[in-house]
Amino acid sequence: MTLLIELPKDLEQALEVEAAELGLPLSDYAIHLLYSRQPADEDDEPTTGAELVTYWQNARLIGTRQDIGDSQTYARQLRDQAEQRQSE
């Protein structure tokens, strides 16, 4: 399906910046946003790791963080930061 939408200039520019930060063409980023805003059907919620990965693939979320070279190292860094965070 082809959909033509006239965006306000400021919204278009903001989306272009966000897409560029992710290294995505604007059209791919717009599709990503639309998929991510889709309400989840409770019957279709993933219950296993494999189903979750399939869900992410269908939502075109996998590969959107091209700035992360090694996901396991990145996950360790996030965990270390969380462990060192002081409660307020």
Q: Is residue 3 part of a domain?
A: no
Into how many domains does the chain fold? 1
Measure Cα distances from 49 to 8, 38, 86 in Å. 40, 20, 31
Q: Is residue 32 part of a domain?
A: yes
Question: Which pLDDT does position 46 carry in this prediction?
Answer: 85
Say yes or no to pLDDT of 13 above 90. yes
Nearest to 29 by CA among 74, 63, 79: 63
Question: Which pLDDT does position 61 carry in this prediction?
Answer: 81
Q: Is residue 1 part of a domain?
A: no
Q: Is residue 4 part of a domain?
A: no
Query: For the chain, what is the mean pLDDT?
Result: 84
Lowest mean pLDDT among 17-31, 33-47, 54-68: 33-47
In whole angstroms, what is the distance from residue 49 CA to residue 60 CA? 16
Nearest to 2 by CA among 23, 25, 19, 27: 27
Q: Which domain holds residue 29?
A: 9-84
Q: Is residue 2 part of a domain?
A: no
Q: Is residue 31 part of a domain?
A: yes
